[in-house]
Amino acid sequence: MFFNKKKENKKKVLVVEDDALLARVLTDALKKGDLEVVNVMNGNDALESAKKFQPNIILLDLILPGLDGFGVLGQLKADEKTKNIPVAVISNLGDVGDVKSAKALGAEEYFIKANIELKKIVAYIKKRIKD
């Protein structure tokens, strides 16, 4: 059947965000962009979901319950199954040291929540994972 073909071709985004409202807003905005989105709320679930879901990109908060975003990023980049998945950080941590640490661990982009518009995040993700 041809009905399932569109879903198979959708690009996948893993949103790792423990703020339920922000996670919902991000997920809704990305789904409107015709992306398949999975949201998890802690670091351990992020690692498990990245391996199972194999997203085209991960949007990662740094302040998470359990394993924090820095730990998640380090483990993602150390694992053969997930090391090539691009990661964009979205965080309230705006200190230059935090940005440098995240980039050193393999983050490709760093968005500060208070300084970025939702549409810019969506545009970045769509541009980054386009065919």
pLDDT in tens, 72-128: 999 999 999 999 999 999 999 999 999 999 999 999 999 999 998 999 999 999 999
**What would the two tokens of residue 49 be?**
């979901």
Distance separating alpha carbons of residues 99 and 91, to the nearest angstrom: 10
Cα within 13 Å of Cα(56), Cβ side: 18
Q: What is the reported pLDDT for 131?
A: 58
Domains of the chain: 14-129 (3.40.50.2300)
Does residue 1 surpass a pLDDT of 70? no
**What would the two tokens of residue 131 be?**
């065919």
Q: What is the reported pLDDT for 33?
A: 85
**Contact by Cβ (8 Å): 15, 24:** no
**Contact by Cβ (8 Å): 46, 17:** no
Does residue 52 surpass a pLDDT of 70? yes
Does residue 4 surpass a pLDDT of 50? no
Distance separating alpha carbons of residues 2 and 120, to the nearest angstrom: 33
At 5-37, the pLDDT tens digits run 445 578 999 999 999 999 999 999 999 988 999
**Contact by Cβ (8 Å): 107, 77:** no
Does residue 3 surpass a pLDDT of 50? no
In a 3-state reduction of DSSP, which class is residue 97? helix
